[in-house]
Homo-oligomer: A and B are copies of this chain.
Amino acid sequence: MLRRFLPCMEWLSSYDKHVLTSDAVAAVIVTIMLIPQSLAYALLAGLPAEVGLYASILPLLAYAIFGTSRTLAVGPVAVVSLMTAAAIGNLNLGSTSEYLAAAIVLAFVSGLILIAMGIFRLGIFANFLSHPVISGFITASGLIIAASQLKHILGVQASGHNLYELLLELGHEIAHTNMPTLVIGVSALAFLVWVRKQLKPQLIKLGMAPRPADLVAKAGPVLAVVATTLATYALGLDQQGVKIVGEVPSGLPSLVVPAFDLPMWKELFVSALLISIVGFVESVSVAQTLAAKRRQRITPNQELIGLGASNVASAVSGGFPVTGGFSRSVVNFDAGAETPAAGVFTAVGIALATLFLTPLIHFLPKATLAATIIVAVLSLVDTKSIVETWRYSRSDFVSMAATIIITLLFGVELGIVAGVGLSLLLFLHRTSSPHSAIVGRVPGKEHFRNIERFAVEIDREILTLRVDESLYFANARYLEDRVHDLISQHRQVKHFILMCPAVNLIDASALESLEAINLRLKDSGVCFHFSEIKGPVMDRLKHTHLMHDLTGQVFLSQYDAWRTLHGEGPGEISTPK
């Protein structure tokens, strides 16, 4: 019982010096990677840079206690930071302190939602975010984030929560570009792209083993941070208009109680729900991928509690919404982390950074952070997946394209809601006409096949419709129409058989439709029979009016039905289309 709620019990019991060494090494590497990322994502969310560090301490401890993934690295991530900016932007707040208070409430409410979903085992509802919707959403978010960072590269003012607003404002402001900022921004961008594409192969060429080479390459952003900070300090670029991070308060975050401001909670509720679900879906898929590599397993409902606890921890330590991040988790895994203790050590690393390193980042240019964000998020833009979805399924492509377009034009919240709504409607539409076929007997055999594809025996007085899917409210009325049409086209028919070999469920709406079909067939003088109903489905049907009023019989097999209604002799042979 205790183990179920505190998954850390499991790995703590067998923790030893060997594992500790692996975890500590991984933690050092992740800490180095996480410092610039945390600062950058806080700025993306519209918050002071140090808030990013705060959101990378307690949340990691909370996840280590309640999470089930051994290697997931929790903290601020790009898409969730963008959603945070959009959610709080809606509130039109004046001051930074109000803005921060709202971010704290958002993290807190989002944490409570995640914990509640975990307790009520609602992880399954995250499935209603279909892959094309989430993939389209992330692609569009990546583009919006990249566009939102261009202002820092150019050194101008601009704001907006969708691509249209952002590009419009940048267009107006481009004339005011600050040259020193542009030089720093473009150099950092070029350097980071080079690090991403070239550094690893170069290091390998120089004789380094692939794995350390990969890890060094991942630490590239730190080099950019150090170099541009030193340059700005040495050349006094901040005096020439280069925006810098500036004064960052030293010391650990102080604990806060999130403001219990009911109207704000209500206003942020939907945003918090969307952030929770998007964050959970992303995090779980990373965690699952990593767990599979070591044949470990995660528990999605307990993951909800782990991520919920992280967000609550983030809120009470003055942070903003967090979730499991893809790139940092992979780094953690590759660097050899074996247990969530690596997360605890990372938290200690970040805490040390907030204590001792903040004076050093005073001169860090915002353009450098913008460059790290742009390089990181452009990998989120997944054009390959768009092309593949188009090739594979037009219906899925429509959901994806609608999600991308609405997100780009109207922002993240409307984008994700419209995408989910549309994918549900398209799915229901797709299943609203169940696969079905009129069947006849394969001559001399006990099998029955589609009369449109095979030359089979038929009897003009008997019509058999085989349905290949469960019957439920979205397709029940289609079945009514179909039977209605068939009977008005085949006026000699005296027996209608519904063959149900693949029907796993008949819901109350479908039952009602079957009753209507029975009554209408009775009015038309046709007997209504069933064949091959599965056991559990029949158990439910047994005591219904349908079975009581049925004008025909229920046959165990279609062959029984044929023998009883047609007799042993051969039937007429159909001509397939």
Contact = CB atoms under 8 A, between A and B. Distances in A.
Interface of A: 124-132, 285, 288-289, 291-293, 295-297, 300, 388-389, 391-393, 395-397, 400, 423-425, 427-433, 435, 468-470, 472-478, 480-481, 484-485, 487-488, 491, 502, 504-505, 507-509, 511-513, 516, 519-521, 523-524, 540, 543-545
B504 A128 contact: no
A284 B132 CA distance: 35
Chain A interface SS verdict (over half): helix
B127 A391 contact: no
B508 A127 contact: no
Nearest to A131: B509
The 3 A-B pairs with the shortest beta carbon distances in the complex, nearest first, are A292-B520, A130-B473, A131-B509
B544 A507 contact: no
A427 B476 CA distance: 14
6 contacts: A130-B507, A130-B508, A288-B516, A292-B524, A300-B481, A395-B507
B544 A392 contact: yes
B509 A396 contact: yes
A293 B488 CA distance: 11
Given A289-B516, A295-B488, A297-B485, A505 B128 contact: no
A450 to B, nearest CB: 12
A477 B429 CA distance: 21
A271 B291 CA distance: 49
Contacts of A128: 428, 473-474
A362 to B, nearest CB: 44
Contacts of A543: 391
B295 A487 contact: yes
B477 A127 contact: yes
A508 B508 CA distance: 30
Contacts of A473: 127-131, 423, 427
A124 B289 contact: no
A427 B508 CA distance: 12
A488 B296 contact: yes
Contacts of A127: 428, 432, 473-478
A190 B297 CA distance: 69
Given A130-B507, A131-B476, A397-B508, 6 more contacts: A125-B429, A127-B474, A131-B508, A388-B545, A395-B507, A427-B507
